[in-house]
Amino acid sequence: MGISVVMFGMIAFILLGLIVIPVIIIGTFGNGSPPLKFSYISFVLLTIQWTLYLTGFYVWLPVSVPDVAFTPIWFVICALALISVVREWKNNPAVSFVLLVLTGISFIFAVFIYGLSNM
């Protein structure tokens, strides 16, 4: 019971941080144009991927499915977000910076998980 409450609190804190921190950064430094739709899509895909991972969605699937799908999906989403960062940099650097940080953390985490799974 106690561990599940702590895990729920950690997931809620991370999701709150994923929403509040970008809003603060964009509100403070985002005097440019509104973000591109591709940036919204990239941010939503990264958030969904993190939510699925943190809630243990991949544990519910048969063993062969996450082994085949998890890492490629993570790297494809990181690549899409990186393309979005490059396109967004001229339009609105504040949004681009937030997306770049989230993409960097996701990419480092994906490489770390890929390395651990091959040991």
3-state DSSP of the chain: CHHHHHHHHHHHHHHHHHHHHHHHHHHHHCCCCCCCHHHHHHHHHHHHHHHHHHCCHHHHCCCHHHHHHHHHHHHHHHHHHHHHHHHHHHHCHHHHHHHHHHHHHHHHHHHHHHHHHCC
Span 25-55, pLDDT tens digits: 666 655 667 778 888 888 888 888 888 888 8
Please indicate, yes or no, whether the overall pTM of this predicted structure exceeds 0.85.
no
Is pLDDT of 24 > 70?
A: no
Span 66-101, pLDDT tens digits: 778 888 888 999 999 999 999 988 888 888 888 898
Is pLDDT of 10 > 80?
A: no
Segments making up each domain of the chain, as ranges: 2-117
Q: State residue 30's pLDDT score.
A: 57
